[in-house]
Structure 1
Amino acid sequence: MAPRVLIVGASVGGATAAITLRSFGIETIMLEKELSKAKPCGGAVPPAAFREFDLPTSLIDRKVKQCLIVSPSGQETRVPVAGTIPSDDDYVAMVRREVFDSFLRQRAQERGADLIHAQLTGLRVDRRGVVATYRTPSGHEGSVWADVVIGADGAYSPTAKFLGLPHLPRAVAIQERIKLSPDKMARWEETADLYLGYEVSPDLYAWAFPKRDHIAVGIGAGPRHSTAAKQLLTNLKRRLGDALAGGQTILREAHALPMEPRPHMAFDRAMLIGDAAGLVVHTSGEGIYWAMKSGQMAAQTLAEYLDAPSAANLRHYERRWWKQYGTMYRFLRFLQMWGYGNERQMEVFTEMCRNYDVQRLTFDSYMHKQMAPAPWLAQLRMTAEIIASEVRNYLRPRTPIREQLGLTVVEKERMVAAD
């Protein structure tokens, strides 16, 4: 019997893994429980994804060419999306996951991957292979055999659970899609907003991202603050004020984000990719590109070792991953802890983003997905400005904007408790 791979989850990571496996002629089955409901997501994708995975730009709703960062006190920093060398790829693509995921899934099927619309109910892995059981939406029970399983099934990953792996610490993201009139949408024609402050996100950030005909307004909250997510979103909408006037909420959605990568992403006859492996970068919470890239890299490694899919062989995938991206992940984790640690640091972070060198290095790294080198003179300039900003904001703290929003005493106490 020809080798067969089962992929649990057929969104961006799973579909990309399937496309890659089919390019090697490997029989591939995707198991996906949800084909119609949109996956909750901010939907920001770097241009690198469209180049590397040969994606049509018709999938893009908006090309964001400017980011507005607003500090807890209301300081604003406008950052042009541009690298050191200007190019046509100086933008952040905004997509809707229901469109983006569907395209990739369809491409995988066109390349020969099979799709089963069902939920994973059981998984057994032994030296002979993998047996998965599932239940379709109509209640039909079935099973499938494979040589290897790839878990591409999100932060709650049933695959990881059946493999006996512990849960990852998770943040929660909640957002509303708000349909606005054309004159209101003009405010976000080529701009995406990021908001900082305890009243909207105690340890991450809040956002307003433009889509084709609506705005995605959302917040991220770490594990200690997930129960306050709805209140944080309410505070964000209050902070946006008249910009959302007359808007119609067409969808509210929430999802979990893993806060740490797993110690191992490959095992005997099993691999994990994307959110299931904890591959969401800190600071931005970006996951789409990393799910696709990990799906591709896992599939390429599997194609090499499909005749002997032991943990020792399949862990070439994770070693290659961390060799290529480990420095970036570690840096962005440090940046999140440094920049979002408290509201004074959020003020420093906002001011830091005005620095020309910071802007160029940030977008060089974002658009090309590799750490951009920082010349020593640029490092000196950035360090001097950061020190000056630290002194400024710690000697004379700015007043948080929530004092101007008229939060109730209970809400203020909740924000203070989050500090």
Structure 2
Amino acid sequence: MHQGEAFDVAVIGGGPAGATAANDLARRGLSVLLLDKAGRIKPCGGAIPPKLVDDFGIPDHLLCARIRGARIVSPKNRSVDMPIDGGYVGMVDRDVFDEWLRARAAANGAERVSGTFERLEHGEDGLATIHYRAKGSTPDAPSRTVRARAVIGADGANSAVARQCVPGAERVPFVFAYHEIIRTPAAGSASYDPLRCDVYYNGALSPDFYSWIFPHGPTMSVGTGTARKGFPLKGAVQELRALTGLDGTETIRREGAPIPLKPLKRWDDGRSVLLAGDAAGVVAPASGEGIYYAMLGGRFAADAVEEFCRTGDSRALATARRRFMRLHGPVFWILGIMQRYWYGSDERRERFVSICRDRDVQTLTWDAYMNKELVKARPLAHVRIFFKNLAHLTGIVPA
């Protein structure tokens, strides 16, 4: 690649959102640069729904496990099993999964570059100049540049593109997540099931979110998250590992990062820059699920940028957020209310886990997760859940 070379689109960040956008655009014949920090792995449980597998053409070999249910554990160590009837949750290793997405984009025509975004400038010719530092360059080496008609900022929760280009991006709330990838112990040596995700709602492990143990075949993700600054995340994970008999297993790596839990009110700069993925804040509250929403946001960003490149009308950029919020805004709103209320105290967490015993709740939860939409086909079940929630909220039924 030549210094100052021009592309139709520069995608900053090669996670699920950026790699998906780059792949879609390259397949449609646009010239695409994919700039990514090589080697970084995001802390993530790695869960993906069947809808993602189908919609984005994910091959079976990337699934390191197919989960058939979840176990929800309360502060008093009471547990509820939530089996999945007729479906599954796929588990992926982010280092393998993300790299496969980037490689697919390159195979379809995107040009990959390893480096760190530094700044962006708009030229009088309508092109943006992107300054970046190439991987492996010396500290005194000059920045390199490329130019592009449009830029997709998919560079994570602390997006430098968002902070520079989109007003309000610095005010998004975060959960700070930390996990440890450990070797899966021998069968019977610890409390786990290779086909089950374990989720812990316990204020000692997370004061406002949850902790998890997610099996990945030969490895496991053990983690926790919180928005409370100063909370000892590493200590909480060590406590969880000790509680479940996983403290003696080999630790392969440790990772931590902020995770946004509220979509930004604006994703574009009104000129030629559009955000996607964590940079746009599209991680679901309460659950922390982000891979599916990142990839869908990347696809919508690609559609909007293609329209912008075709017409030159910057108003096309705003369609990405409108489409996403029309589909998933109600779900994010409901999950946000759930997180603020049910995760507010251990007493409420106990009641929340009790609600999860209900088969209507379990069925609708899994249907919504696997199909990625609010389930409207069972109105009587929704009515029953409403009154059961009301009973728990008022204390009519015991936790």
Q: TM-score, normalised by structure 2?
A: 0.91
Question: Contact 2:184 / 2:217 at 8 angstroms: preserved in 1?
Answer: no
User: Residues of 1 paired with 2:297 and 2:185: CA distance?
Assistant: 39
Question: Contact 1:121 / 1:135 at 8 angstroms: preserved in 2?
Answer: yes
User: Residues of 2 paired with 1:70 and 1:309: CA distance?
Assistant: 53
Structure-1 residue corresponding to 2:339: 336
Question: Contact 2:179 / 2:255 at 8 angstroms: preserved in 1?
Answer: yes
More helix by share: 1
Q: Deviations over 1:197-256 (max 9, x none)?
A: 11011111000000121221100111x24543223223322322x2x1531111111111
Structure 1 stretch 265-274 or stretch 298-307: which is displaced more? 298-307
Compute the displacement of 1:390 (Å).
4.0
Structure-1 residue corresponding to 2:193: 188
Q: Deviations over 1:286-340 (max 9, x none)?
A: 1111111100111012212214445422111211111122111111112212321
Q: Deviations over 1:100-155 (max 9, x none)?
A: 01111100000000011111111113561210111112225310000010001000
1:26 match: secondary structure:
coil
User: Residues of 2 paired with 1:50 and 1:376: CA distance?
Assistant: 28
Structure 1 stretch 305-314 or stretch 256-265: which is displaced more? 305-314
1:147 match: secondary structure:
strand
Are 1:170 and 2:170 an aligned pair?
no
Question: Contact 2:72 / 2:353 at 8 angstroms: preserved in 1?
Answer: yes
Structure 1 stretch 322-331 or stretch 53-62: which is displaced more? 322-331
1:172 match: secondary structure:
strand
User: Residues of 2 paired with 1:256 and 1:202: CA distance?
Assistant: 16
Identify which of 250, 275, 280 aligns with 1:277.
280
User: Residues of 2 paired with 1:2 and 1:159: CA distance?
Assistant: 18
Structure 1 stretch 341-350 or stretch 151-160: which is displaced more? 341-350
Question: Contact 2:241 / 2:247 at 8 angstroms: preserved in 1?
Answer: no
User: Residues of 1 paired with 2:383 and 2:110: CA distance?
Assistant: 52
Question: Contact 1:266 / 1:317 at 8 angstroms: preserved in 2?
Answer: no
Are 1:211 and 2:216 an aligned pair?
yes
Q: What is the aligned residue count?
A: 386
Are 1:321 and 2:324 an aligned pair?
yes
Question: Contact 1:204 / 1:336 at 8 angstroms: preserved in 2?
Answer: yes
2:325 match: secondary structure:
helix
User: Residues of 1 paired with 2:342 and 2:106: CA distance?
Assistant: 43
User: Residues of 1 paired with 2:278 and 2:230: CA distance?
Assistant: 18
When the two chains are superposed, the root-mean-square deviation of aligned CA atoms in Å is 2.1
Gaps of 5+ in 1: 399-419
Identify which of 149, 152, 168 aligns with 1:150.
152
Compute the displacement of 1:257 (Å).
0.3
Q: TM-score, normalised by structure 1?
A: 0.87
Structure-2 residue corresponding to 1:261: 263
Gaps of 5+ in 2: none
Structure-1 residue corresponding to 2:13: 9
Corresponding letter in the other structure for 2:327: Q
Are 1:132 and 2:124 an aligned pair?
no
Structure-2 residue corresponding to 1:31: 35
Are 1:220 and 2:225 an aligned pair?
yes
Question: Contact 2:9 / 2:33 at 8 angstroms: preserved in 1?
Answer: yes
Question: Contact 2:27 / 2:109 at 8 angstroms: preserved in 1?
Answer: no
Identify which of 88, 95, 100 aligns with 1:98.
95
- Mark the CA change 1:391 to 1:330 in structure 2 (over 3 Å): closer, same or farther: closer
- Mark the CA change 1:392 to 1:282 in structure 2 (over 3 Å): closer, same or farther: same
